[in-house]
């Protein structure tokens, strides 16, 4: 059985006080709503990781995640945060390769492969993002691009390593645009990714990988998206910044 995961990516939003208030509201609402088969991950800005982690305490459903990690172990990399640092504060998840990192910070497939290695070597779970820009969707090469993204950054892993990766498919044209992929478009791509994983690692491994959908997930489309057989949850941006909306999405799973 694959894990069902709803992760909120807060991106560069909220003050500490607002982050604590949002966490407290989510904790209050999720407690009653979710059974043990769903994990909720709050990917908060770096300065709040320790505070939010402590606030969550021993919560068995809600976990904290980082939004990025350095490809380096330590040293003279001003402004960077290593996997060892993230691990040392007890944070179990790290988003790697978000399209905003690819687009604004020039992160390419090779760099992301190194980052995935570092996160896994630290014993943490990477949430590896892939997804095509609009022009690629329009010219019809989206499936081959996403397969290539997965291949270039993950296919060097052993089967045991791959099993620890969570994949998030986030079509760039659906991020922050209010224009979500249809549930059929999401399902089609998730099936393509799973089949591609199976071609290299076999069906058993590929069936064990959680593949999340991201891109304008909202309370009113979450149920339909999550009902697809290959959609194992969501990576939620804007809608994760409002407690009620986010918890409705969690409930939809
Ligand atoms: P939105 O939900 O705001 O479209 O963002 C999706 C995303 O980028 C999550 O990582």
d(CA 111, CA 114) in angstroms, rounded, equals 5
Examine the pLDDT at 50 and tell me if it is beyond 90.
yes
Residue environment code for 212-247, b if the CB has 16+ CB neighbours within 10 A, otherwise e = bbbbbbbbebbeebbebebbbbbbbbbbbbebebbb
Closest by Cα among 145, 231, 150, 158 to 196: 150
For the residues 203-216, what does the mean pLDDT come to?
97
Q: pLDDT tens digit string along 158-180?
A: 999 999 999 999 999 999 888 88
Pick one of 3.20.20.70, 1.10.150.20, 1.10.760.10, 3.40.50.2020 as the CATH number of 4-252: 3.20.20.70
Nearest to 9 by CA among 252, 251, 233: 233
- Ligand 1 atom with the shortest distance to the CA of 217: 2
Under 8 Å between Cβ of 176 and 100: no
Predicted pLDDT at 31: 75
pLDDT digits (tens, 9 = 90+) for 84-102: 999 999 999 999 999 999 9
Ligand 1 pocket, 214 CB below 6 A?
yes
pLDDT reported for residue 198: 98
Burial (CB count <10 Å: 0-12, 13-18, 19+), residue 85: middle
- Average pLDDT estimate for 40-63: 97
Of how many residues is the chain composed? 253
Q: Token pair for residue 39?
A: 């994990």
101 lines ligand 1 (CB under 6 A): no
Strands 211-214, 4-9: pairing is unpaired
Per the residue annotation, which of 100, 107, 170, 187 is the catalytic one?
170
Provide the pLDDT for residue 224.
98
Establish whether 170 is a catalytic residue: yes
Question: Measured from the CA of 98, which atom of ligand 1 is nearest?
Answer: 10
Instruction: Check whether 44 has a pLDDT greater than 90.
Output: yes
Q: How far is CA 250 from CA 189, 205, 212, in A?
A: 22, 26, 13
Q: Is the CB of 170 under 6 A from ligand 1?
A: yes
d(CA 242, CA 146): 30
pLDDT above 80 (res 143): yes
Coil/strand/helix, residue 106: coil
Task: Using pLDDT thresholds of 50, 70 and 90, give the confidence band for residue 33.
Answer: low
Neighbours of 113 (CB within 10 A): 19
| pTM of the predicted model as reported, rounded to 2 decimal places | 0.97
Mean pLDDT computed over 195-200: 98
């Amino acid at each position: 059985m694959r894990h069902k995961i709803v992760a909120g990516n807060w991106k560069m939003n909220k003050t500490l006080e607002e982050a604590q208030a949002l966490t407290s509201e989510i904790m209050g609402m999720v407690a009653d709503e979710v059974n043990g088969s769903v994990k909720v991950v709050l990917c908060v800005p770096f300065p709040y990781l320790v505070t939010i982690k402590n606030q969550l305490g021993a919560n068995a459903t809600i976990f904290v995640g980082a939004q990025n990690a350095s490809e380096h172990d330590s040293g003279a990399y001003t402004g960077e945060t290593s996997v060892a640092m993230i691990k040392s504060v007890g944070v179990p998840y790290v988003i790697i390769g978000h399209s905003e990192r690819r687009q604004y910070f020039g992160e390419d497939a090779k760099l992301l492969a190194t980052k995935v290695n570092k996160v896994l070597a630290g014993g943490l779970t990477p949430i590896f993002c892939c997804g095509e820009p609009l022009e690629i969707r329009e010219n019809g090469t989206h499936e081959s691009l996403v397969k290539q993204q997965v291949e270039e950054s993950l296919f060097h892993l052993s089967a045991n390593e791959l099993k620890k990766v969570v994949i998030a498919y986030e079509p760039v044209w659906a991020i922050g645009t209010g224009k979500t992929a249809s549930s059929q478009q999401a399902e089609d791509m998730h099936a393509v990714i799973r089949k591609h994983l199976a071609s290299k690692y076999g069906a058993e491994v590929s069936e064990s990988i959680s593949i999340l959908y991201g891109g304008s997930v909202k309370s009113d489309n979450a149920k339909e998206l999550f009902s697809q057989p290959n959609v194992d949850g969501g990576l939620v941006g804007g809608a994760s910044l409002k407690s009620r909306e986010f918890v409705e999405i969690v409930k939809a799973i």
